[in-house]
A and B are shown apart, each in its own frame.
Chain A
Amino acid sequence: MGNVEEYPIIWLQCATCTGCSVSILNSESPTIKNILVDEILPGKHLNLRFHPTIMAGAGQAVIEEMEETKQRKSGSYILMIEGAIPTIEDGNYGCIGEKDEKPITMLSAVESLGKEALAVIALGTCAAFGGIAAAHRNPGKCVGVDKLFKSLSIITPLINIPGCPPHPDWLVGTVASFLLNGLPKEEDLDEYRRPKAFYGRLIHERCPRRADFDEGKFAKNFNKPGCLYELGCKGPVAYADCPLRLWNGGVNWCINAGSPCIGCCEFGFPDVVSPLYQKMDVEALPIVGRRIEIE
């Protein structure tokens, strides 16, 4: 069996719907069993020490397991954060558990675990940017990890993998690249700390309905063929590789199902793309791939 290197992972669920975890369960290849049980790459094993939806134990015992991992593996564990962090009332709107009858807020857990992690992955739009939990009126004063870290001067390396939920390949690919090449270089990430490998191009650049857009063939209603721009498609401002990667093992994706892209990986989702089914102003359209005049 040779020497297997263990990579401890602590997976915190904050203000989340658990959709990010469910999406990762849907990973096609490697499967979730390959990810958690097998050597995900030869000689390398992801050692999931804490994940509320999966782990067998409960209560104080698992909280202690989490704290022990933090102490024993200080500086060498990966912290995965799913969900935004409520900051209102000292974080008391969201608790991950308790120790000695004292509740542990998500806010304090992200701070203390974040400081000592080797790297932090903010998984999903809520963890990355606040997402749905931080949408207007933001009742829990929720923030994403980046914003929180900046306010607390935490400098642990951070990678954002937004998406509502994120595609499992985006996480698996990012983790694999980390295992093989170490932390991403600054030039591998975009201005929102998203890996360019997955979020480098607009949906609109690679959409199969792009020819319809260029020819002005717009669907006037659902169920109709044509580009979905007039039905509110946010593909022209949304960065992700869904048109090539497809979802759920390739059976479908949003626009192939006749649904406009809602820009679920974007900073400011859902407010900046609302109303979701309202046509964007022409001025908002980026200048990409316009037809060039050939002499």
Chain B
Amino acid sequence: MRLTREEVDHIAELAKLALTEEEKERFAEQLSAVLEYAARLQELDTEAIPPTATVLPLRNVMRPDEPRPPTPREDILANAPAAEEGCFLVQAVWGVEPEPEVEP
């Protein structure tokens, strides 16, 4: 199972990753190898095995309710593609708020 260049472009776009040409080549190889491994797993007969959401023995991993200082805003916003007035700036969502419409 070999990923196409278009598929790698698409995945990179979804993940908001800016990749160089050389990286796209390399990740196409690596992602394809991962998918091939998964495809091999699908060949296994799992008829008699109950489904599970986890294969780890971990249970009840929790922490106490104790706050710590938050991260400085400028550090958080440093990762934002665009910021304004202390906020992340995004494209308006679907024409902003729907106009209230009175039902007949």
Q: Bound pair: A and B?
A: no
Interfacial residues, chain B to chain A (CB-CB below 8 A): none
Interfacial residues, chain A to chain B (CB-CB below 8 A): none
